[in-house]
Amino acid sequence: GAGVSQSPSNKVTEKGKDVELRCDPISGHTALYWYRQSLGQGLEFLIYFQGNSAPDKSGLPSDRFSAERTGGSVSTLTIQRTQQEDSAVYLCASSLVAEGRETQYFGPGTRLLVL
């Protein structure tokens, strides 16, 4: 079946602009994660959605970052007033939460460059 998809693949923006990154998880997966991969910080957790529960936003680096998941499926990560330090690859992953079987499957990522 189809894997996790993300769009756009690459995004170049100017400092101060807002950007939206999209993630389409694997159909039927109840959990969705956003991670950030940067040279200086490695792979960092950003936010976690599980079913209808309130999202775990504990990894978001600042209030300029927000995310939503509509209808328990597609998710959008929004970065407002982008800064150069936001340049990174943003990875989305989804999983089916089942006892002893949870494995996260990743999308190809969105490479964000803030000029």
Residues that bind another protein (CB under 8 A): 31, 33, 35, 42-43, 45, 48, 56, 58-59, 89, 91, 93, 95, 97, 100, 102-109, 111
Distance (Å, whole) CA 25 – CA 73:
6
Order the strands of the 19-24 sheet from edge to edge: 5-7, 19-24, 75-79, 65-69
Please state the closest distance from residue 69 (CB atom) to another protein, in A: 15
Strand partners, 88: 112
Please state the closest distance from residue 35 (CB atom) to another protein, in A: 7
Looking at the Cβ atoms of 74 and 106, the one nearer to another protein is: 106
Looking at the Cβ atoms of 16 and 51, the one nearer to another protein is: 51
Looking at the Cβ atoms of 82 and 110, the one nearer to another protein is: 110
**Under DSSP, is residue 86 helix (H, G, I), strand (E, B) or coil?**
helix
Extract the tokens encoding 9: 């693949």
Looking at the Cβ atoms of 79 and 90, the one nearer to another protein is: 90
**Under DSSP, is residue 28 helix (H, G, I), strand (E, B) or coil?**
coil
Please state the closest distance from residue 86 (CB atom) to another protein, in A: 18
Concatenated DSSP letters for 8-19? -SEEEE-TT--E
